[in-house]
Amino acid sequence: MLYGFIGTGIGGGLILDGKIYRGSKFVAGEIGHVLVDKNGPVCGCGNRGCFEAIASRTAIVNKIIDDIKSGKKSELIDMVKAGERIKSKSLANAVANDDKIVIKRISDGCEVIGGVLASLANLMNFDMIVLGGGLVEALDSFMLPKIEIAFYDHVLNASAEGLKIVSSKLGDDAAIWGGIALAEEFLGLKV
Ligand SMILES: [Zn+2]
């Protein structure tokens, strides 16, 4: 399975045959830096057009800020004017209030997320993709169906067979559970 974190950035983890797969230098699962658009915005890693630079919450918020600055209407205008940080909860409220700009930008993000996940599913033939991170947690019922549409549009039929895409049940606690599992594995403890 693949775990994908969609929030401030985009990260991921691979569990293959029941075990975390780390790769030869512990980098495996770094899905955030898959190239999506070589002419896209600059990523935190220094390259252009990485998945994270296009579909993370930060990337989506940057697009919304540009829209608002170019005169488009959104309920987030006061936050943008005040230079406040726009978090996932504010985006979820805007979606609930039918804010067209926010809906458009998050929908565009879902299209990219679905497409990238389809490429990864073709590579790895997963049983399951679990999505978490602040943006997905705040907006899973809005985002998941949109991600699935783009996913099934791109994926090969054989790669999609029996595959489930679900949102994380552990939420923010996933990291601490992961830390416990790591300690158990490396130190031979049973917590
Ligand atoms: Zn990058």
Rounded to whole angstroms, the Cα distance separating 152 from 114 reads 8
Rounded to whole angstroms, the Cα distance separating 114 from 103 reads 16
pLDDT attached to residue 159: 97
Rounded to whole angstroms, the Cα distance separating 67 from 89 reads 19
H/E stretch holding 11: strand 10-16
Residue with tokens 């403890």: 189
Give 148-184 pLDDT, tens digit per residue.
999 999 999 999 999 999 999 998 788 899 899 889 9
Burial of residue 162 (CB within 10 Å: 0-12, 13-18, 19+) is exposed
Q: Give 11 Cα–ligand 1 centroid separation in angstroms.
A: 11
Q: Give 117 Cα–ligand 1 centroid separation in angstroms.
A: 16
Q: Which residues pair with 167 in a beta bridge?
A: 131
Give 3-58 pLDDT, tens digit per residue.
999 999 999 999 999 989 999 999 999 999 999 999 999 999 999 999 999 999 99
Question: Minimal CA–CA distance to 154: which of 127, 119, 189, 190?
Answer: 119
Q: Give 6 Cα–ligand 1 centroid separation in angstroms.
A: 14
Q: Give 121 Cα–ligand 1 centroid separation in angstroms.
A: 20
Q: Give 129 Cα–ligand 1 centroid separation in angstroms.
A: 21
Rounded to whole angstroms, the Cα distance separating 133 from 65 reads 21
Structure tokens at 51: 């998945």
pLDDT attached to residue 189: 85
Strand order from edge to edge, sheet including 10-16: 19-21, 10-16, 2-6, 128-132, 164-167
pTM of the model: 0.94
147 in Cβ contact with 165 (< 8 Å): yes
Average pLDDT, the chain: 95
Q: Give 183 Cα–ligand 1 centroid separation in angstroms.
A: 29
* Confidence band for 69, pLDDT divided at 50, 70 and 90: very high
Q: Give 44 Cα–ligand 1 centroid separation in angstroms.
A: 6
Q: Give 174 Cα–ligand 1 centroid separation in angstroms.
A: 23
Percent of the chain having pLDDT more than 70?
A: 100
Q: Give 37 Cα–ligand 1 centroid separation in angstroms.
A: 11
Give 73-104 pLDDT, tens digit per residue.
999 999 999 999 999 999 999 999 999 999 99
